Amino acid sequence: MKRNILTIILLVTCNISSFSQTRQPLYKDKNAPIEDRIENLLGLMTLDEKIKQMNQWTYGQNANPNNIGDKMKAVSPLIGSLLYRSTHPEYRNQIQKKAMEESRLGIPIIFGFDCIHGYRTIFPISLAQACSWNTDLVKKSCEISAKESWLSGLDWTFSPMLDVARDARWGRVSEGYGEDSYATSQFAIAAVNGYQGANLADKYTIAACLKHYVGYSLSEGGRDYHYSDVSMQTLWETFLPPFEAGIKAGAATVMSGFNDISGVPASANHYTLTEILKEKWNHDGFVISDWGSVRNLVEQGVAKDKKEAGMKSFLAGVEMDMVDDVYVDYLPELVAEGKISMTAIDEAVRRILRVKMQLGLFENPYVDVVSEENRYLLPEYLEVAEQLASESMVLLKNDNQTLPISSKYKNLAIIGPMAKDSINIMGSWEGMGRPEDVETIYEGLEKEFKNKADLHYAKGCDFDGDDRNGFSEALKAAEKSDVVIVFLGEKKNWSGENGSRSSIALPKIQEDLVEELLKAKKPIILVLSSGRPLELIRLNKLADAVVEIWQPGTMAGSAVAGILSGRHNPSGKLSITFPQSTGQIPIYYNMRESARPTLGHYQDIPRDPLYWFGHGLSYTTYEYSNIKLSSTQIKRSETLTAEVEVTNSGDIDGKEAVLWFIKDPVATISRPMKELQFFDKKFIKAGEKAIYRFEIDPMRDLSYVDSFGKKHLEAGDYFVIVNEQKISFQIID
Ligand code: GLC
């Protein structure tokens, strides 16, 4: 009897579990461990379902006119991802519903998009953000971008872009954080934390994507997509650290670049994609190719056809194929031919499913639908946008205290093609930013100087061309004004992707306009909006003051007007060097020293660049004093504290970013002339002071890295450099 009861109990239990199994497969159980859920799902998937997960199609086209997205395909409910260019969450939810309910296993789609420096609230371009040296504010802007994106139906952004760039002919210099690896690493961390928040499964957080992995900015001659010759030592010293920082910060995804890395393209490079990213750094998310970069392996001459391209990319470590359908077309054959194993397919799909589960997409596949006025451009977002824009602007020159504009001036000439612009002022990759949202510079000035001064506007000329008919009107405006403010710059498509230029000078007509305005014999303030450093060797001499405002985005008007009026005290410092001229490229602060430092420079221009990395003026003055070290001699295992006292010796409150560099004058390999290893920005009231401290960890901050990524800390003399002042110390055995 007992045995019968036991048998009945066992049978009933099995039925319940299998019944629950049919009703609620493990992978749908949000309380089960993610890895168990993945394995359960993988075990249920067909090869076709697995391979479809490894593909991203476009839904509309991205913000880059150079990549005209194929007209939207009928979305397969099995597709892994969509590059989603719509602002309608309900549309996303409809598509997601297809995936959840019309497919056998109900695997959610991950929706991605290029939210690079804002989604609808547009922040300054990333190159500008770096000049703020304010990682908290950058993180905040990414949080806002994530919320606007999430509420528009996105789970994923193809950002931050971490290409350390030193050739301003390359248009994509606008998308990164400048010429320094350490700075780029810090902004990588800020961006990943901003986008991903504390938990990817939380609402309003989106997966980050570190791009373009790796060495893309060395595209020869600054010509986009071209061959990049990267020494392994340079790869480890300069280009990999920001990606490592982003991975350590928890970035869910990585995007492989278009560029060739010294013979092995980034999208087929097993060393970078697997040995470093997966095996050394233990990244457990996935890699997506860049737009068609799998197919491009054929053009790069490393694959005879798309099938071989797909095989090479997959085996190197690219898990998802962006828009060129190579994987979906050829992986089935490659598996059937035994050239790609099911084990490898499973590992790739495992990584994609892991990110989808971390995002909580299985439990929450849909996003909330809220009204546009509750989704975009909230007042607190615009406040952050104005603050970040103003803190990113760099006062390059200010002779005779021309700025801020004196209250004595009652007539201001507002000249130039950028003054009333609402399109180019947002920069490239403007996401879903709209010109009608932008407060133009002129609108900002009208508000700022209302009842204080009269504005006399004249466009003067277009951004380019040779129509000088507007010069006379501009000169008239200048002649009846106390000061002439000229707003010049670049069109947004002169930088960004495929935005390479053989010269970084502004078109001659813009320079000629300034020459013409000199006839008015009034102070000239030059305000430049660009996506790159500009060639200012001629213009700089003509102006009493020069401000680089970059491409400040939605709140351009208030930010620029605040800087010009003094409501914002400029605190930006260059994150990239301004060469004298295009011909001086590449020139960057952390070059190696020449064999003959005083020789070998171009004979026809000054030896130094026009403005070095780290340059930026303020309306107040800061005195650096009492630089001291906690010791002048430490062992390798000990730490060292450097500190400096900064006094705001002027009469205007301000924020000061202190940049700390180290120098190793003699080492087994040559070292850069100096290397940024820490920075900090603080608000200091007029007349007050602040102490800035740099806690030096010798292995982290003083070592050099070899061609294999191994760090070496050598005994010997070192320097800490702050505000051009050097203080020496020793590392002893
Ligand atoms: C582009 C860009 C990349 C972008 C991708 C998707 O070609 O290189 O930065 O994220 O396509 O739009």
CATH code for position 512: 3.40.50.1700
Strand (E) or helix (H) holding 653: none
Q: Looking at ligand 1, which residue's alpha carbon is closest to its atom 7? A: 291
How much is the pLDDT for 68? 42
260 SS3 class:
strand
The CB density around residue 46, as the number of other CB atoms within 10 Å, is 11
Asked if 424 and 489 count as a contact pair (C-beta separation under 8 A), the reply is yes
610 pLDDT tier (thresholds 50, 70, 90): very high
Q: Which two tokens stand for residue 716?
A: 């010997």
How much is the pLDDT for 254? 99
How much is the pLDDT for 59? 79
pTM: 0.95
How much is the pLDDT for 75? 78
CA of 321 to the centre of ligand 1 (A): 12
d(CA 266, CA 216): 8
In the chain the first and final C-alpha atoms are separated, in Å, by 81
Cα dist. 176→46, 364, 565 in Å? 40, 33, 29
397 and 304, same domain (yes or no) = no
Mean pLDDT for 82-92 is 91
384 and 346, same domain (yes or no) = no
Domain boundary among 358, 392, 416: 358
Per-chain mean pLDDT for the chain: 95
Atom of ligand 1 nearest to the CA of 67: 7
388 and 523, same domain (yes or no) = yes
d(CA 391, CA 395): 10
Asked if 145 and 100 count as a contact pair (C-beta separation under 8 A), the reply is no
354 and 428, same domain (yes or no) = no
Instruction: Spell out which residues line ligand 1, taking CB within 6 angstroms.
Output: 62, 64, 67, 83, 114, 158, 211, 290-291, 497
- Domain extent, residue 172, equals 2-358
- Sheet with 286-288, strands from edge to edge, namely 209-213, 253-256, 286-288
- Return left, alpha or beta for 97; rule: phi > 0 is left, psi -120 to 50 is alpha, else beta: alpha
528 SS3 class:
strand
Convert the pLDDT of each residue in 682-705 to its tens digit.
Answer: 999 999 999 999 999 999 999 999
558 pLDDT tier (thresholds 50, 70, 90): very high
Q: Which two tokens stand for residue 644?
A: 């400096």
Whether pLDDT at 1 is above 80: no
- Per DSSP (E only), the strands in 590-663 are 622-629, 633-635, 640-648, 654-663
* CA-wise closest residue to 40 among 107, 108, 132, 131: 107
Convert the pLDDT of each residue in 514-541 to its tens digit.
Answer: 999 999 999 999 999 999 999 999 999 9
d(CA 127, CA 115): 15
pLDDT > 90 in the chain, percent: 93
60 pLDDT tier (thresholds 50, 70, 90): low
* CA-wise closest residue to 664 among 699, 710, 702: 702
CA of 291 to the centre of ligand 1 (A): 6
What is the DSSP track for 126-168? HHHHHHHT-HHHHHHHHHHHHHHHHTTT-SEE---B------T
d(CA 83, CA 62): 7
Domain boundary among 560, 584, 608: 584
pLDDT > 70 in the chain, percent: 95
Mean pLDDT for 363-390 is 97
13 pLDDT tier (thresholds 50, 70, 90): very low
Q: Is residue 603 included in any domain, yes or no? A: no
d(CA 660, CA 721): 6
CA of 393 to the centre of ligand 1 (A): 27
Mean pLDDT for 291-307 is 98
Whether pLDDT at 21 is above 50: no
Domain count, the chain: 3
538 and 654, same domain (yes or no) = no
Residues catalogued as catalytic: 290
The residue written with tokens 């960057």 in the block is 588
Q: Looking at ligand 1, which residue's alpha carbon is closest to its atom 1? A: 291
Whether pLDDT at 121 is above 50: yes
Query: 197-206: b or e for each residue (b if 16 or more CB lie within 10 Å)?
Result: beebeeeebb
Strand (E) or helix (H) holding 388: helix 379-392
Q: Is residue 596 included in any domain, yes or no? A: no
d(CA 564, CA 445): 9
Least confident of 16-30, 123-137, 316-330: 16-30
Q: Is residue 250 included in any domain, yes or no? A: yes
CA of 76 to the centre of ligand 1 (A): 22
Convert the pLDDT of each residue in 185-223 to its tens digit.
Answer: 999 999 999 999 999 999 999 999 999 999 999 999 999
Convert the pLDDT of each residue in 241-267 to its tens digit.
Answer: 999 999 999 999 999 999 999 999 999
Asked if 658 and 722 count as a contact pair (C-beta separation under 8 A), the reply is yes
Q: Is residue 374 included in any domain, yes or no? A: no
Asked if 644 and 638 count as a contact pair (C-beta separation under 8 A), the reply is no
Q: Looking at ligand 1, which residue's alpha carbon is closest to its atom 8? A: 290
Mean pLDDT for 166-186 is 98
CA of 112 to the centre of ligand 1 (A): 11
CATH code for position 683: 2.60.40.10
CA of 79 to the centre of ligand 1 (A): 19
47 and 113, same domain (yes or no) = yes
Asked if 355 and 253 count as a contact pair (C-beta separation under 8 A), the reply is yes
Q: Is residue 101 included in any domain, yes or no? A: yes
Asked if 312 and 268 count as a contact pair (C-beta separation under 8 A), the reply is yes
How distant is the alpha carbon of residue 419 from its chain centre? 26
d(CA 456, CA 295): 54
How much is the pLDDT for 76? 87
83 and 11, same domain (yes or no) = yes
Mean pLDDT for 608-628 is 98
Asked if 51 and 345 count as a contact pair (C-beta separation under 8 A), the reply is yes
Asked if 337 and 313 count as a contact pair (C-beta separation under 8 A), the reply is no
How much is the pLDDT for 17? 42
The residue written with tokens 């979906």 in the block is 328
70 pLDDT tier (thresholds 50, 70, 90): very low
How much is the pLDDT for 52? 97
Least confident of 19-23, 485-489, 598-602: 19-23
Strand (E) or helix (H) holding 560: helix 556-565
How much is the pLDDT for 58? 86
Whether pLDDT at 10 is above 90: no
* CA-wise closest residue to 626 among 695, 694, 697, 691: 691
Strands 725-732 and 716-722: antiparallel
Whether pLDDT at 459 is above 80: yes
Q: Looking at ligand 1, which residue's alpha carbon is closest to its atom 6? A: 291
* CA-wise closest residue to 424 among 394, 463, 374, 467: 463
Asked if 62 and 432 count as a contact pair (C-beta separation under 8 A), the reply is no
213 and 77, same domain (yes or no) = yes
How much is the pLDDT for 61? 52
d(CA 583, CA 563): 32
Atom of ligand 1 nearest to the CA of 112: 6
Q: Is residue 311 included in any domain, yes or no? A: yes
Q: Is residue 366 included in any domain, yes or no? A: no
Mean pLDDT for 491-500 is 98
Q: Is residue 218 included in any domain, yes or no? A: yes
116 and 252, same domain (yes or no) = yes
Q: Looking at ligand 1, which residue's alpha carbon is closest to its atom 12? A: 62
How much is the pLDDT for 9? 53
CATH code for position 308: 3.20.20.300
72 pLDDT tier (thresholds 50, 70, 90): very low
534 and 654, same domain (yes or no) = no
Atom of ligand 1 nearest to the CA of 161: 9
Mean pLDDT for 658-685 is 98
d(CA 187, CA 392): 13
Atom of ligand 1 nearest to the CA of 255: 10
Convert the pLDDT of each residue in 619-660 to its tens digit.
Answer: 999 999 999 999 999 999 999 999 999 999 999 999 999 999
How much is the pLDDT for 16? 43
Atom of ligand 1 nearest to the CA of 62: 12
Domain boundary among 584, 603, 630: 584
Give the count of alpha carbons within 13 A of 441, CB side only.
33
Mean pLDDT for 561-581 is 98
What is the DSSP track for 478-524? HHTSSEEEEEEE--GGGSSTT---S--BPPHHHHHHHHHHGGG-S-E
* CA-wise closest residue to 340 among 323, 317, 356, 324: 317
184 and 144, same domain (yes or no) = yes
Whether pLDDT at 336 is above 90: yes
How much is the pLDDT for 25? 95
566 and 636, same domain (yes or no) = no
Mean pLDDT for 39-67 is 84
How much is the pLDDT for 3? 57
Mean pLDDT for 468-484 is 98
Whether pLDDT at 71 is above 70: no
